[in-house]
Amino acid sequence: MAPKVLMVAEKPSIALSIASALSGGRMSTRKGSTDVHEFDGTFQGSYANFKVTSVIGHVLSVDFPPAYQNWEGTDPMDLFEAPVLRSECNPKLTLGGI
């Protein structure tokens, strides 16, 4: 079984450009929440199946904890040492079929 190579670009237009360049224009595209461009090629000297897709919008959100939310009562210098909270922007969104 050929290895599978997944490439995820920041924007749909970049995913299309990468897939077009690497496939020499010989690729198929599956439409969905984000397009998935598929083609066969060589990866590290072996035959491989490539899939190139992208993300849309923000995947993660970052924020400071509630103790740092009062901008009038927080010393901006404290923010350099403050913890950062990370959360999924939309945990219900799934990008199936990749």
Instruction: Specify the pLDDT at position 56.
Output: 81
Q: What is the DSSP letter of 12?
A: H
pLDDT digits (tens, 9 = 90+) for 42-59: 999 999 999 999 988 777
pLDDT band at 7 (very low <50, low <70, confident <90, very high): very high
Instruction: Specify the pLDDT at position 93.
Output: 65
Closest to 39 (Cα-Cα) out of 24, 28, 53: 28
> What average pLDDT does this structure show over 17-31?
96
Q: Which residues of 55-75 are buried (b: 16+ CB within 10 A; e: fewer)?
A: eeeeeeeeeeeeebeeeeeee
Residue type, 88: E
| Cβ atoms of residues 68 and 77 within 8 Å | no
Query: Mean pLDDT for the chain?
Result: 89
pLDDT digits (tens, 9 = 90+) for 36-46: 999 999 999 99
